[in-house]
Structure 1
Amino acid sequence: MARRVMAKEKVDRSESFGERLLGVLLDRARVMPPQLIAPLIAEEVARIGGRDVSILLQDYAQELLVPLPGRKLHVGRPQPVADSPAGRAFLRADVVEVPQDQGGVRMYLPLLDGSDEVGVVAVTLDTVGDDDRRLLRRLAGLVADMLVTKSAYTDQFLLVRRQEPMSVSAEIQWSLLPPLSMSVPQVEVAGILEPAYRLAGDSFDYALNDNILHVAVTDAMGHGLDAAAMATIVIGAYRHARRVFVSLSEKYAYMDDAISRQFGPDHFVTAQLMHLNIATGELELVNAGHPAPLLIREGRVVERLESATTLPVGFGGEQPRIAQHLLQPGDRVLCYTDGIIEEHLAGGERFGEERLIQCVNRLAEETSGGVRADVTRLSHTLKTERGGSTSDDATLFMIEWHGGAADHLAVPD
């Protein structure tokens, strides 16, 4: 019997320059002290001809990108999110390149942790080619992951983001929040809260479990630590209910029981609870004393997503009725708390929902930069319209549904 020899194709496992550069960071990341991340990044970028490396982190108000201090880093002035090359890279989650008068190109690359944005890394190169762009994008992604991971056990990066003293209640609230934005092919979400440094009772939470996006937007009564404590309990109860796979109405019951047991009958939290099937666009909604979300289609508000309103969480309301809506691809759902519309203008006039709708429609006439950019722009516009002040917590949370599938992302090229 003839012997058959199976020829094996030789696999190239040699290490390329780009792999070596990224590999140094990966190999050292586990034991790297937080204060040494920046010098190592600057050192590695210099190996591809980069100079004047800056790491810019977003401040809590999402108005500035603040330079991280560190050995070998270029530390300049904070850059405005609304009007700077760094801000454009941040809001668009894309690379911005600016030719320099003295020669070279200044590159601004978003620091993406998953699809949430940490900030921007800036670097100057004499010339920029496709290989540089690809390598620096991957480097920026790795830097973002390292910053987020190390933030779990250092205050260094959080302190850079603070441009004002922060209240204890705001400290608690910020620790509750999920990433401020998320993007997958079928759906995007983004949220923003004011006043960033004195926040108390507002919060939001979300999770994408298989094809269901779970969303809660809550507003605890009152101010200060009492409101922050209620927000902590209600979000904890919501997450527990979500993780034991109960229905929307049962989630309401879990949250209601937790607040009433802990605080008694004179405390409450308004809430908006949603399930969105990201494959079909089917939206389920429970409204517990909260302003109705707005449906935005082709850039304009077309309706309020009404539902039978049950009592706020903590008042022992009856089992809520679930409203159902069907979204079209490209639809946006804007949730907000009453601090947006109940602010009083100079002269005592209430801001009101109609002004909110007018602002949404007016901004639609400008070029959209995506959900994260548009929510930030809307929040800053509303604050200006309200005279620059926010006397109560004011929260925006937006969902944009695209539909389709993401299975192709699991297939290797």
Structure 2
Amino acid sequence: MSPAMGEEIVDRSEGFGERLLGLLLDRARLMPPQLIAPLIAEEVARVGGSDVSILLQDYAQELLVPLSGRKLHVDRPEPIADSPAGRAFLHAEVVEVAQARGVRMYLPLLDGSDQVGVMALTLDAVTDDDRRLLRRLAGLVADMLVTKNSYTDQFFLARRREPMSVSAEIQWSLLPPLSMSVPQIEVAGMLEPAYRVAGDSFDYALNDNVLHVAVIDAMGHGLDAASMATIAIGAYRHARRVYVSLAETYAFMDDAICRQFGPDHFVTAQLMHVNITTGELELVNAGHPAPLLIRDGRVVQQLESATTLPVGCGGEEPRIAEHLLQQGDRVLCYTDGIIEEHVAGGEPFGEERLIRCVNRLGEEQSEAVRADLRRLSHTLKGERGGHTSDDATLFMIEWHGGAADHLTVLD
């Protein structure tokens, strides 16, 4: 159908989209952080979009908070649990909502596979050309936000919903992306309480076919715990990057904590290697609760291992536990703040209640690892009375296996 006389024709073809994205990429390299928002709004306007919002996840993972900026549409925060923006964020999919004057689109902002937030905009109508172009634009916007975030506080301040302790500032600066997804394996992690966490942390890296994971809990509270966690994670990364074994990594971390803090301080830790091709898992447990193996939505066993002394206590060389995962298996690591929180009656929450919560949620429809872990975290917090008096960490791995070589082949 030909456009009516006087009606503006908006070019959303792939050729136009390539030129538009190229222009954005050329300008983004030198763009100051405060001008990112106006540039994005200008680019969206070129494809006929309006009311552009950039929504970033808050640190407690409860809300998507609008980023303020010239030419951006700023409305109230959107709940992650029950909103179109939250659905786009949790499921990493485009969500379209028909409105009286067009279609409101919510596009996940993905940096790799880590969800940064959501870009929302309104179009008069939506075609497949629009969807293709806007998905690519959202990917470029996510990369820009992550890149600029390394030298501005603008995005941090938008995400922060309450005052944050100095120890929590340190811990958040240590963390890798909260989630990662490749065809063979997915991971996701959460820290509580988001604005006061001190000694808990986690780290991971995917090197060739091996996923390296560490979950730690430094003794104490406040800056002392945050300082120990910083040294422990730094020592872990150093050992990991010189390709030593898990046993040698434990020894290196142990020596670093002992030398820096003396014999009266320690850090509990879990160290893992997961072969993403075969599902072989190696585990060192230095004072942590045993991880849970979840299969078909239910806990089937605790991944037991010979527990060695916490890092910093001068323990003997640890024995490596070996397990073999099946496709679709999940491994849930957690720190003692999850199970030692006292509930009504003064008793600890305990492992049995944790397992019951995991199994109950497993009976519902399974979603992506990050969405399911967030749901589990908030469910557990509710079961514990809505508060966390000690640091509490959850870290989940889901293994799929297979290969990703097909991604290197261009159509």
What TM-score range do you get, normalising by the shorter chain? Answer: over 0.9
Does residue 18 of the first structure (1) align with residue 13 of the second (2)? no
Distance 1:347 1:73 in 2: 50
Letter in 1 for 2:214: A
Match of 2:180 in 1: 182
Letter in 1 for 2:186: E
SS of equivalent to 1:153: coil
Match of 2:197 in 1: 199
How far did residue 16 of structure 1 move?
1.9
Distance 2:61 2:288 in 1: 25
Match of 2:320 in 1: 322
Distance 1:99 1:334 in 2: 39
Residue by residue, what CA displacement relative to the aligned partner does 1:212-233 show, whole Å, maximum 9, x if unpaired?
A: 0000000000000000000000
Distance 1:185 1:401 in 2: 9
- Which of the residues 226, 237, 248 maps onto 2:246? 248
Match of 1:72 in 2: 71
Q: How does 1:5-404 map to 2 (within 5 A)?
A: 16-100=15-99, 102-404=100-402
Letter in 1 for 2:360: R
Distance 1:126 1:147 in 2: 27
Distance 1:43 1:95 in 2: 21
Distance 1:133 1:365 in 2: 34
**Structure 2 unmatched runs, 5+:** 1-13
How far did residue 346 of structure 1 move?
2.3
Distance 2:126 2:295 in 1: 39
More moved, 259-268 vs 362-371 = 362-371
Distance 2:170 2:243 in 1: 27
Letter in 2 for 1:52: D
Distance 1:161 1:368 in 2: 28
How far did residue 309 of structure 1 move?
0.2
How far did residue 369 of structure 1 move?
2.0
How far did residue 129 of structure 1 move?
0.9
Letter in 1 for 2:24: L
How far did residue 378 of structure 1 move?
0.4
How far did residue 347 of structure 1 move?
2.1
Distance 2:284 2:128 in 1: 49
Distance 1:131 1:163 in 2: 37
Distance 2:341 2:270 in 1: 20
SS of equivalent to 1:76: coil
CA RMSD of aligned residues (A): 1.0
Distance 1:25 1:377 in 2: 36
Letter in 1 for 2:36: I
Residue by residue, what CA displacement relative to the aligned partner does 1:292-328 show, whole Å, maximum 9, x if unpaired?
A: 0000000000000000000000000000000000000
Distance 1:262 1:125 in 2: 58
Q: TM-score under structure 1 normalisation? A: 0.96
Distance 2:361 2:106 in 1: 26
Q: Report % sequence identity.
A: 85
How far did residue 80 of structure 1 move?
0.6
Letter in 2 for 1:331: D
Letter in 2 for 1:169: S
Residue by residue, what CA displacement relative to the aligned partner does 1:237-265 show, whole Å, maximum 9, x if unpaired?
A: 00000000000000000000000000000
Distance 1:40 1:261 in 2: 50
Q: TM-score under structure 2 normalisation? A: 0.96
SS of equivalent to 2:64: strand
Residue by residue, what CA displacement relative to the aligned partner does 1:89-119 show, whole Å, maximum 9, x if unpaired?
A: 111111111111x131111111000111110
Moved over 2 A (4+): none
Distance 2:51 2:367 in 1: 28
Distance 1:361 1:105 in 2: 39
SS of equivalent to 2:186: strand
Distance 1:121 1:367 in 2: 26
SS of equivalent to 2:105: strand
**Structure 1 unmatched runs, 5+:** 1-14
Distance 2:204 2:274 in 1: 11
Letter in 1 for 2:45: A
Letter in 2 for 1:368: S
